Structure 1
Amino acid sequence: MSEHIRTELSDGVLSVTLNRADKKNAITQAMYAALSDAMERAKADDAIRAVLLRAEGDSFSAGNDIGDFIAIGSQTEKPFDMSVFRYLKSLADLDKPLVAAVKGRAVGIGLTMLLHCDLVVVADDALLSVPFVNLALAPEAASSLLLPAAIGHQRAFELFALGEVIDGRTALAWGLANRAVPAGDVDATAAELAAKVAARAPNSIRKTKRLMRDAEALWVLMQREGEAFGSQMKSPEAMEAFTAFTQKRAPDFSKLG
């Protein structure tokens, strides 16, 4: 279990907390492994009725830890062996309610994991984005299907292609969240919703969620996305984007095609 992922079970709710506030909760492969452990435990343990995803600090997640992701991704010939893919599969497979409490930044997978949540509470001033194209990458977590399904093709394409940010109020209006509340109320509101759903008939809840989601189809799509993501990671476009990111400048794709 990574020191940067904390879990606590109380009254049927497993709280899973991203605990790397000094790095805006950017997620490493070790953290993905710990998150996978938590989701797999939640599915298997009848004492767990719901899962609450939250984060310490002022941001939900800055997305992948870029340095960690590049280092590990460039060394493996089998990207599906990376812990991130185990986590994605655990999200697809989870048949118990998943509730998220989102404050501050939710970037990349910090947003796309919310598409697998059943109840989402955002701070009204939270900032959400999926800047995959900005890094010359491709969508993941079945977001190429789930995001357009949630908010429509045009809005989803704009978020993917331009990498622009939406706030919590917009996320609520577009259907990405159930509640948008002041940042100070996010954790309590999400915990209240998690407790309510945990008190419902557990088998009824699980069957309802299974009927609403096709876990096998989501995993098939995640693997297709992973192939696109992996090929882009090794592309000249991505090398330029990563170099520009570390040099704090805008990438120049004018000579690439």
Structure 2
Amino acid sequence: MSHILQQQDQGVLHIRLNRAEKKNALSQQMYRELTEALQHATNDVAINVVLLQGTESCFSAGNDLQDFLGAGELNAAHPTVQFLYQLANFPKPLIAAVSGLAIGIGTTALLHCDLVYASDNARFQLPFTQLGLCPEAGSSLLLPKLVGYQHAAQYLLLGEAFTANEAQQMGFVNEVVSADNLTELARQKALKLASLPADAVQTSKALMKRGFQQVTLETIAAELQHFQRLLDGDECQQRIAAFFTKR
């Protein structure tokens, strides 16, 4: 059974995370399917925009830790690593509609989206240091660039959660609406983008990212090296063990 639902309509590929019983925690199979979906969207000229969404109560609680720990070293063959690079290199507009929890990769993935809309119940958190880990997905570069160093330090070093309204004030999300209106708002924005000349839109995106795209990829690579080093360390292993004990 797939936990990634896809629907294509009027130039928009709508991707939904559908693992509500696990709060949309991402397994390695889900990463594989997301990567394949983005690859397909890249190559299909009939797709102009991708809309990414979770369930009404949860966007994503981050990695499925047990599954992630069993997937081996964070090298080029690792499904999570492949997804990160596919996400960072995606050339077409990517829109996210976020409800409920967005934790870890559930938040850092949003930094690669061109437009982010959130419901008023959205809650974001980057608890990497609490697990003895460091940022990933280029967030150590992209978050300070987007919201300023002090805000980024508050969320990446302390791991404090922030609300949808706080995210909007910092420029992390474009607009906050009620949960009932979120899907329709994101869909209308996606359809509007999909109706515009695709070459012009994609060229504009590439030009906006031109000044920092290479350093983003280099940052992802550096983060992965440190993430693996910390993941192998005793302190991280103890904190992860404690996390499973609390569950």
Would you say same fold, with TM above 0.5? yes
How many angstroms apart in 1 are the aligned matches of 2:20 and 2:70?
Answer: 22
- Contact 1:16–1:51 (Cα < 8 Å) also in 2: yes
**Aligned position for 1:113:** 109
Q: How many residues align?
A: 245
Secondary structure (helix, strand or coil) at the match of 1:80 reads coil
Query: Which one of 75, 99, 123 corresponds to residue 119 of structure 2?
Result: 123
Show structure 1 runs of 4+ deviating over 6 A.
Answer: none
Cα distance in 2 for residues equivalent to 1:162 and 1:229: 17
Shift of 1:163: 1.1
Distance 1:53 1:188 in 2: 13
Q: Who is 2:223 aligned against?
A: 225
> Contact 1:79–1:230 (CA<8 Å) still a contact in 2?
no
Q: Hey, what does 1:252 align to over in structure 2?
A: none
Decide which of 73, 76, 79 is 1:80's aligned counterpart: 76
Q: Distance in 2 between matches of 1:110 and 1:33?
A: 16
Question: Could you tell me which residue of structure 1 aligns to residue 182 of structure 2?
Answer: 186
**Structure 1 residue 142 corresponds to structure 2 residue 141:** no
CA distance in 1, matches of 2:235, 2:204: 43
Match of 1:59 in 2: 58
What is the CA–CA distance in structure 2 between the aligned matches of 1:184 and 1:23, rounded to whole Å? 22
Is residue 131–residue 160 contact of structure 1 (8 Å, CA) maintained in 2? yes
Superposed counterparts of 1:133-172, under 5 Å? 133-172=129-168
Residue 8 (structure 2) pairs with residue 9 (structure 1)? yes
Aligned to 1:103: 99
Q: Does 1:198 align with 2:203?
A: no
In the other structure, the counterpart of 2:34 is 35
Structure 1 residues without counterparts, runs of 5 or longer: 250-257
Aligned partners of 2:21 and 2:183: how far apart in 1? 19
State the superposition RMSD in angstroms.
1.3
The sequence identity of aligned pairs, in percent, is 39
Task: Specify the code of the residue in structure 2 equivalent to 1:53.
Answer: L
Structure 1 contact 115–143 (Cα < 8 Å) conserved: yes
How far apart are the structure 2 equivalents of 1:198 and 1:219? 27
How far residue 168 of structure 1 moved from its aligned partner, in angstroms, is 0.5
2: CA distance, partners of 1:86 / 1:191: 27
Separation of aligned partners in 2, 1:80 and 1:157: 29
Question: TM-score when scaled to structure 2?
Answer: 0.96
Shift of 1:218: 2.1
Measure, in 1, the Cα distance between the counterparts of 2:155 and 2:52.
23
| 1:255 matched residue in structure 2 | none
Offset at residue 213 of structure 1 (A): 1.3
Among 168, 171, 174, the alignment partner of 1:175 is 171
CA drift of 1:57 comes to 4.4
Name which of structure 1's ranges 23-32 and 236-245 shifts more when overlaid on structure 2.
Answer: 236-245
- Identify the match of residue 235 of structure 2 among 210, 234, 237: 237
TM-score, structure 1 as length reference: 0.92
Question: Does the alignment pair 1:209 with 2:205?
Answer: yes
Contact persistence 1:122–1:186 (CA under 8 A):
yes
1:151/1:175 contact within 8 Å kept = yes
